[in-house]
Amino acid sequence: MTLSPDFSDTRLSKGDAAAQRVPGVDIMSRMGVPMIFAKDEEVYGQDENAELLYRVVSGAVRTSQVLTDGRRQIGGFYYTGELFGFEVGQRHRFSAEALSDCEILVLKASALRAASAEAYDHLVGSATNRELDRTQDHVLLLGRKSARERVASFLIGIADRGRSDAVTLPMGRQDMADYLGLTIETVSRMLSQLQGALVVEFAGFREFRINNRGALTRLAN
Amino acid sequence: MTLSPDFSDTRLSKGDAAAQRVPGVDIMSRMGVPMIFAKDEEVYGQDENAELLYRVVSGAVRTSQVLTDGRRQIGGFYYTGELFGFEVGQRHRFSAEALSDCEILVLKASALRAASAEAYDHLVGSATNRELDRTQDHVLLLGRKSARERVASFLIGIADRGRSDAVTLPMGRQDMADYLGLTIETVSRMLSQLQGALVVEFAGFREFRINNRGALTRLAN
DNA sequence: CGGTCCATTGATGTCATTCAAGAAAAGTGG
DNA sequence: CCACTTTTCTTGAATGACATCAATGGACCG
């Protein structure tokens, strides 16, 4: 991990779309410290104290939890503009790692709180709500969906972030599997199935198009 | 569902332990409306607007989410003193039902907020954090634990609420199964296994003792 | 006492995992 | 830019864990 060089605030001051929409995000941009993480580098560790807020500036991040024997569960993926790691005043239940080389804005929660209690409440409150929402979806997926449904749900979820039907996956099969509670082989088979059914079409491991969004949504349940 | 009769506030004014500990809980006791729900009665529905706060006064509650074809996932169980249903300003992703006949204190979120923004923030903030914490544990359980580990984790979790090694389950096998992402038969088999291994001992369907907490914890991973 | 509900247990089936091999892509050094 | 290695992904066959189907056994309740 390295602090990004001076010209980084140039990038930050060019307010992106997310920064304009959400009040409190620009205050975070002003106060936060930009940091660079290499692919697979740890942003914070399991059981570490949670006193910092993080926002993805570029690249993507995953949070994960590991059992003693190495089984891994990914909690979520975070993309440009999103906040993560805000289980404030507790220990992190998940660790966070960079999915790819990425830039992350880091801010001490207490500093933001001191600067503007209102901005803090809004930022952390809405982020926590969104997080809870996602996590509850995740529970349903893991508890009651079949492998095919899980993979279909996942593709829909990823596709819904962008406007287009052409999507680039920011993660590999192992990360997908560990998010979906499956093995890498099962994920691969389900992707092949979906492709065989002409619902999606892959061009390379990480590039695909959705050919039939209705069918995919139905398969996701 | 019925409004409880007048003498209900007698019960409430006898501040229970939880009410004394958590600031903001007693303000909720004063402002909230006590309601009585019969076993299996719905407290709120999936996709209903979330504008009320709920606290269990007596009995227990489960939250659950149902797929189109009837598959059900239980999100959590809530016991005396606990808050639930506070995904404020959104739609409920889960519905909530009474596990047994129970009394629940209901309060309009906006009313509490108007009365004391501080109490509101503290109450909802800490409840949401706890909820997120639990849900993340649930994700790990559903995504990466075996049936035996799930059941062991569940028993440990229930036992940790009380001080004693003698526990009464507030729910039946179907509810356990739908929380653990298993079938009722598998839950039953795992319980028999644990009993066969002398880790726990059942006396009736809902009463059991933990004979070897260390072993149970190890089995839970 | 008979009926209903709920839990247990056994036999069988199925879906996902595991094990194993090979193919495609990405990284590395000349 | 091209061989070579390494990593990542796919596919097939065998196994295994949990689900499904079916029968039985208790507990509770009118």
Residues of chain B with C-beta less than 8 angstroms from the C-beta of A135: 132, 135-136, 139
CB B109 within 8 A of CB B70: no
* Residue A79 confidence (pLDDT): 96
* Average pLDDT of chain A, as a whole number: 89
Query: Which parts of chain A are beta strand (E)?
Result: 2-3, 33-37, 42-44, 52-58, 61-66, 72-78, 83-84, 95-98, 102-108, 166-168, 200-202, 207-210
Q: What angle do CA B100, B126, A30 make, to 5 degrees?
A: 150
Q: Name the percent of chain A lying above pLDDT 90.
A: 76
The number of angstroms, rounded, from the C-alpha of A83 to the middle of its chain's C-alpha atoms is 9
Nearest by CB to B139, from A69, A129, A138: name it: A138
Residue of B69, B132, B182 to mutate, testing the A interface (most A Cβ within 10 Å of its Cβ): B132
> pLDDT of A128-185, one tens digit each?
999 999 999 999 999 999 999 999 999 999 999 888 899 999 999 999 999 999 999 9
| Percent of residues in chain A assigned helix, strand, coil, to nearest 5 | 45, 25, 30
Question: Which bases along strand D come within 7 Å of a protein CB atom?
Answer: 8-13, 17-22, 27-28
pLDDT tens profile B46-93: 999 999 999 999 999 999 999 999 999 999 999 999 999 988 778 899
How close B163 comes to chain A (CA, Å)? 24
Tally of residues, chain B: 221
Min Cα distance B72 → chain A (Å) is 7
CA distance A206 to chain B (A): 23
Q: Does B51 touch chain A (CB under 8 A)?
A: no
Q: Which of A68, A93, A139 sits opposite B142 (nearest CB)?
A: A139
Asked whether the predicted pLDDT for residue A117 surpasses 80, the reply is: yes
Which one-letter DSSP state was computed for residue A211? S
Which residues fall within 8 angstroms of residue A13, CB to CB, at 6 or more apart?
A: A29
How much is the pTM?
Answer: 0.90
- Coil, strand or helix at B167: strand
Structure tokens at B204: 């009736």
State whether A72 and B121 contact (CB < 8 Å).
no
Helix and strand element counts for chain A (H, E): 9, 12
Classify strands B52-58 and B102-108 as parallel, antiparallel or unpaired: antiparallel
Provide, in whole angstroms, the distance separating residue B183's CA from nucleotide C3's C1': 26
| CB burial readout A123-150, b (16+ within 10 A) else e | bbbebbbebbebbbebbbbbbbbebbbb
- If one counts every other C-beta atom within 10 angstroms of the C-beta of residue B54, the result is 22
What pLDDT, on a 0 to 100 scale, did the predictor assign at position B90?
A: 83
Question: Phi and psi (nearest 5°) for A134?
Answer: -60, -45
pLDDT tens column, A60-108: 999 999 999 999 999 999 999 999 998 877 889 999 999 999 999 999 9
Asked if A181 contacts B142 with a C-beta cutoff of 8 angstroms, the reply is yes
Each residue of B87-146: pLDDT tens digit?
A: 877 889 999 999 999 999 999 999 999 999 989 988 998 999 999 999 999 999 999 999
**A221 CB neighbour count, 10 Å cutoff:** 18
